[in-house]
Amino acid sequence: MLTGMQIAIIGGDLRQIEVIRKLSKLDASIHLIGYEQLDNGFLGVEKSTFDTVRADKLDALILPVNGISSKREIDSVFAGKQQFFKESWLAETPAHTRIYTGIANKALSEMASHAEKELIELMNRDDLAIYNSIPTAEGALMLVIQNTNVTVHKAKVVITGFGRVGQTIAKTFSQLGADVSVAARETDLLARAYTMGMEPVSLSELGNRAAQADVVINTIPAEVLTAEVIAKMPNHALIVDIASKPGGTNFEFAKKRGIHAILTPGLPGLVAPKTAGIQLANLLSSLLEEQWQEQKGGKR
């Protein structure tokens, strides 16, 4: 149980509903920031703002899965106005306060470091990332079906990156009969793709393979779909970029070429927010209970 623990949930999407529900059942005291448009109905939950919440009483901060932007903006589908995560406010929280987020960019990492707060990136964990790869793959499939005029079966699909998410996406499209190629730098990942019946491609050869592609799905959070690569792609090709913002695609050049490119990080929150939210809530509740026990035991 989390009785007495003070938690601020700051921004987020529909996945946070399951987090709120789970933590309220555990009797945590929850303060929602950026939730002006959320209907009431959760016990032990209070709508707050950065100005009204007692920052000096907070034990944990839960940020959106996508973290914050480089300008420190906080996305929230429930907010009435844009929210910003301020370093001065963070400095008011106790020394033991932990920050939980899905991913952290340079801006968030620097803020946590300056405030001497422990920052926990949930998506660095294999378990949650693998669970989330399922709705991500389903979402990528949905976007491909909606935005192409060919069947997935026999379509030439290139997946860039073959990590936890890339593997699930590649497997999903391969099982539907797509001709799947995998582009990666790591030779061991290319070998794994080969054993799964997919065509391995070095990233240095991505342009030549993309020249034959109907669909390119990027999972690498660095610009790998450069102007040089996009210039070789056929006009009918679709790019689905699921990497964290700003993605790994030269979107400006793709637009000039007339190639449809979609940046869509956070697919689990769009495609299956309940399922993804339950997985997120289960992990967060476990981590928060560990933290709470440590605090009550005087270990921090």
Residues of the chain scoring pLDDT < 70: 40-41, 43, 298-300
**Cα 82 from Cα 114, distance rounded (Å):** 24
Predicted pLDDT of residue 102: 92
Number of Cβ atoms within 10 Å of the Cβ of 170: 27
Give the domain 6-124+272-296 fold: Rossmann fold (3.40.50)
Predicted pLDDT of residue 298: 66
Taking the model in full, what pTM does it have?
A: 0.85
**Cα 196 from Cα 192, distance rounded (Å):** 6
Predicted pLDDT of residue 296: 82
Do 6-124+272-296 and 129-265 have matching folds? yes
Inter-axis angle of helices 273-296 and 126-147, to 10 degrees? 160
Predicted pLDDT of residue 40: 67
Nearest of 159, 154, 131, 153 to residue 268 by alpha carbon: 131
Top CATH class, 129-265: alpha beta
**Alpha-carbon distances of 129 from 16, 222, 241, 276, 298, rounded to whole Å:** 17, 18, 17, 10, 32
Predicted pLDDT of residue 299: 53
Predicted pLDDT of residue 287: 97
The one-letter amino acid code at 148 reads T
Q: So where are the chain's domains?
A: 6-124+272-296, 129-265
User: For 186-193, which contacts have Cβ atoms below 8 Å and span 24 or more sequence positions?
Assistant: 186/162, 189/162, 189/163, 190/162, 192/162, 192/167, 193/162
Instruction: Name residue 47's beta-bridge partners.
Output: 32
Predicted pLDDT of residue 43: 66
